[in-house]
Structure 1
Amino acid sequence: MITVISPDYFKTIPWKNGLGSTTELAISSGGKLDDFAWRLSIATVDNNGVFSDFSGYQRDLVLIAGKGITLEHDGKSTDNLTKLLDVAHFDGGSKTVGTLSHGSIKDFNIMTKQGHYSAKVNTYTNKQVVTMPAQSELVFVYSLSSYCQVSQASLTTSVPTGSLARIDNDEHLSKHDISISGENMIVIELTKVT
């Protein structure tokens, strides 16, 4: 089943560390601010500083606006996000310090509870068609700058810029691959850990 979630249904919630707010696009059923199986959100980062502690979670952070940010994790490893749709993958329990390159940025954040869900995050800047395997459990598509299309079986849905498509695979559709076409888009596949 393909569902398009428009920005009208996104929620603004405070950061866990209280130093800002995030726009929650989608969260697992019954999920709360600090207890969820998975969550997708967008945040604006205006200042350098320590990220909220999300011990027990994996994080994928995608640069969607701005001139870049450097993420230092536990003083040991570094991610430099300098181009649109660059991705960092890190442990939410790490002490992560963000340093802005030239002014504020906006990021798309995917968090999954370790031992419950895993995330596979791919970004596409050029126009193309992406095929997800039929057995994909839960897929999300977010388009930054143009409409994208999502198709499965005989269903085709247009996803407006700034909206989120959610593709839930059910028994009826699970025999059909998912086709996604567009550009400047983020494709997220969430899988239950068994």
Structure 2
Amino acid sequence: MRILRAADYRVMPWKNGGGTTTEIAVSPDGAGLDDFDWRISMARVETSGPFSSFAGVDRTLSVLEGEGIVLDVAGRPPLRLTSASAPLAFPGDIPTGAALIGGPITDLNIMTRRGRVAHEVERRSFTAEIRITPRADTTLVLAVGAGATLFTDDASSLGPLDTLILHRDSPEMRLQPKGPGLLFVIGLHRLAANR
């Protein structure tokens, strides 16, 4: 078990130069935008426009704050994505644009290198105790809104936007909310050829 604190996340420019992103975690450690196996980040989107293209990458997007966006992924009907929407998966290497619905948003991006790592993202309401049993090679739990108390030997806690990292052999984790919020549970599966 490891806890990443929001205050320690790395802020860096978007690949297309149109804004900044806050990198929560990346693998391998220190990887750049062209050589990561997986990457979890948050972005502040101030204006409508095109998304950066990531060749060979699968993405999942969720809105954390703001009214939302209308996402235009080539070949699909436009889709309205708000903070109440389920996470949306799409290929990172096809033309994609977004139109803000009513002002800036903050979104959560999960990206995995196709053929190396696969991912799933679950958005869970967090108003009562939740138990998480890691089933992926790596599981990340992001607390949004309120923090959480972890039932561990040292009574660790998560603040808002802190991230808990668990590995496949980690024990079941019990989390108690410190107020109403959300948890994003991200499962990362290294594909057999890359173990």
Q: TM-score, normalised by structure 1?
A: 0.87
Q: Does 1:9 align with 2:8?
A: yes
Q: Deviations over 1:9-54 (max 9, x none)?
A: 2111111111111111110024212220000111111111110001
In 2, Cα distance between equivalents of 1:134 and 1:148: 18
Q: 1:83 to 1:54 in 2, by over 3 A?
A: same
1:185 is matched with 183
2:72 is matched with 72
In 1, Cα distance between equivalents of 2:134 and 2:62: 25
1:102 is matched with 102
1:159 is matched with 158
Q: 1:97 to 1:45 in 2, by over 3 A?
A: same
1:28 is matched with 27
In 2, Cα distance between equivalents of 1:156 and 1:118: 32
In 2, Cα distance between equivalents of 1:69 and 1:78: 10
> Partner of 1:8: helix, strand, or coil?
helix
Contiguous gaps of at least 5 residues in structure 2: none
Spell out the pairing of 1:129-168 with structure 2 (5 A cutoff): 129-151=129-151, 157-168=156-167
Spell out the pairing of 1:47-58 with structure 2 (5 A cutoff): 47-58=47-58
Return 122-131 or 18-27, whichever deviates more: 122-131
Of all paired residues, the percent bearing the same amino acid is: 28
Q: 1:117 to 1:47 in 2, by over 3 A?
A: same
Q: TM-score, normalised by structure 2?
A: 0.86
Contact 1:73–1:95 (CA under 8 A) maintained in structure 2: yes
Number of residue pairs aligned between Structure 1 and Structure 2: 188
Q: Aligned-pair RMSD on alpha carbons?
A: 2.1
Q: 1:129 to 1:99 in 2, by over 3 A?
A: same
In 1, Cα distance between equivalents of 2:175 and 2:147: 11
Contiguous gaps of at least 5 residues in structure 1: none
